[in-house]
Amino acid sequence: MSERAGPVVLKLGGSVITRKDQPETVDESKLDAVAATIGEAAVDSLVIVHGGGSFGHPAAAQAGVSLASGTHDTTAISEIHAAMGRLNEAVLDALHEAGVPAVPVRPFSAGYRDESGAVVQPTGAIETMLGEGFVPVLHGDVFTTVDAGATIVSGDELVVSLAASLAAQSVGLCTTVPGVLDEDEDVIPEIERFDAVEGVLSGSDATDVTGGMAGKVRALLDLDTPAQIFDPDGLAAFLGSGAPGTRIDGSSQ
Ligand SMILES: Nc1ncnc2c1ncn2[C@@H]1O[C@H](COP(=O)(O)OP(=O)(O)OP(=O)(O)O)[C@@H](O)[C@H]1O
Ligand SMILES: C=C(C)CCOP(=O)(O)O
């Protein structure tokens, strides 16, 4: 019997669904547009992860928390998690409006970072949700961390963890740029090694505690499944099994 293909794993970048230049501001038109595209796509097994945008990053920066820097301040932990909850609710509302059977998965209560810094994100509940025809919606979050209280887990890290543990059939990251751009602002078709593009990768345009495009490319090169980085104009193509934007494939490393 053929193995059932794993899900499509899709990241909605915080720079797409929020106005990263304004605190806790959803970009309603962009969010509704990507939700509509997802609702129109015929994808039978889909996991969505969204970023923190102007909800999570400012709250984390204010508390001095990042991928590597943790806190034991439970007020700060609760505030970051609550900010991400507000964004997760807005994303779920937009997906429901578009007819997507989305359900929330809150990483702070579902996983942790171990003593080596690796993300441990159990998938039993997520696999059961997929089996019931639901679309699990996770997000970058504050994340309990061995010997550091709580750090930040990025949506990109969750995408990598889920893609591996769920044997994703494809991985897509929808952000504000049509792909990873070279020094001439042209889309780089494929990236197989970080050092080949390090010079053109910088952080994000706004507050970002998880490394921006450089962090994204580095995380995706560790994946067994090639990933695509594209903007909302490429989303329909990606969900239709196309390969828009930049392909990140670290398998030859
Ligand atoms: N070489 C590059 N090509 C394209 N974008 C780049 C490059 N270097 C830096 N960037 C910046 O990276 C940003 C995308 O990274 P960012 O982390 O903001 O994405 P995101 O996933 O949408 O956000 P979040 O991490 O909050 O979910 C682009 O908007 C751009 O400003
Ligand atoms: C900053 C927080 C809480 C989430 C970070 O997730 P990302 O925006 O996907 O990097």
- Looking at this predicted complex, what is its ipTM? 0.94
Å from CA of 4 to ligand 2 middle: 31
pLDDT category of residue 224 using cuts at 50, 70 and 90: confident
Ligand 2 pocket, residue 152 CB under 6 Å: yes
- What is the rounded CA–CA span in Å between residue 36 and residue 29? 11
Mean pLDDT, residues 178-182 taken together: 95
Q: Per-domain residue ranges for the chain?
A: 8-248
* Mean pLDDT on 181-196: 94
Q: What is the pTM of this model?
A: 0.93
In the predicted structure, residue 207 carries a pLDDT above the cut 70: no
The average pLDDT across 145-153 equals: 97
Confidence class for position 91, pLDDT limits 50, 70, 90: very high
| Res. 203 pLDDT band, cuts 50 70 90 | low
**Ligand 1 proximal residues by C-beta, below 6 Å:** 13-16, 51-53, 155, 175-177, 180-181, 200-202, 204-205, 208, 210, 212-213, 216
Q: What is the mean pLDDT of residues 97-121?
A: 97
CATH topology of domain 8-248: Carbamate kinase (3.40.1160)
| Whether the CB of 154 sits within 6 Å of ligand 2 | yes
Higher pLDDT, 62 or 201: 62
Q: Which ligand 2 atom sits nearest the alpha carbon of residue 157?
A: 9
Residue owning the nearest CA to atom 4 of ligand 1: 180
Mean pLDDT computed over every residue of the chain: 93
Mutate to test the pocket of ligand 1, among 9, 15, 184, 200 (most ligand atoms within 8 A of CB): 15
